[in-house]
Structure 1
Amino acid sequence: MPRRKVTPELIKKMKELRAQGWPYQKIAAKLGLSVMTVYNNLKKAEAEKPKEEVAEEKKEEEKKEKKSFFRRLFGK
C-alpha cells in the first residue's frame, strides 16, 4: 500500500481537528495516515511556531481553565 504524501493542507486539517479535541488515533483514521505520522507532524508544526504565539495560546488555555473551574465550582 503506497504511503500518502503529507501536504500542507493535511497538516492544516490535522491542526484543526486536534484543536477541536480529537485524539491522534481518530485524526489518523479520518485522514488515512498512521498515528505516528499525525503525532510527528503536529509536534513539528508546534515547534515551528514563534515563541510569542505559543505563549499567547498558553495564556488563552489558562484563562479557559480558570473559567471552567469557576463554572464547575459555582454552576455558572
Structure 2
Amino acid sequence: MSTEPESVRIEVAFAGGPIIAANVAPAGADALEHALASAAQGTHQLDTDDGRVTLVLGRVAYMKRFARDSKVGFGL
C-alpha cells in the first residue's frame, strides 16, 4: 500500500509578483521542480485539479511545495 498522496499543494510565484496555488499530482510537482532546477528554457505544462497551466519557466521566481495538506476548520 502506497503512502504517497494523490495530490500535493504548490505555489508558483512569478517575477513581478503574481502567485498561483494549485493541487497537482506528485509527479507533476517533481517534473516542475526538475525543470526549474535544470534551468530549462521555454514553457512547462502542469496539470492541476482545475485544468492545465502553461508556465513560462524564465518568469518563475520560486516554487513552494507544501509538506502536507493544510486545511482551515475543524476535522479529524
Range into which the TM-score falls when normalised by the shorter chain? 0.3 to 0.5
Higher RCO by CA contacts (8 Å cutoff, separation 6 or greater):
2
Higher-Rg member (1/2)? 1
More helix by share: 1
Q: How does the TM-score come out when normalised to structure 2?
A: 0.32
TM-score, normalising length: structure 1 = 0.32
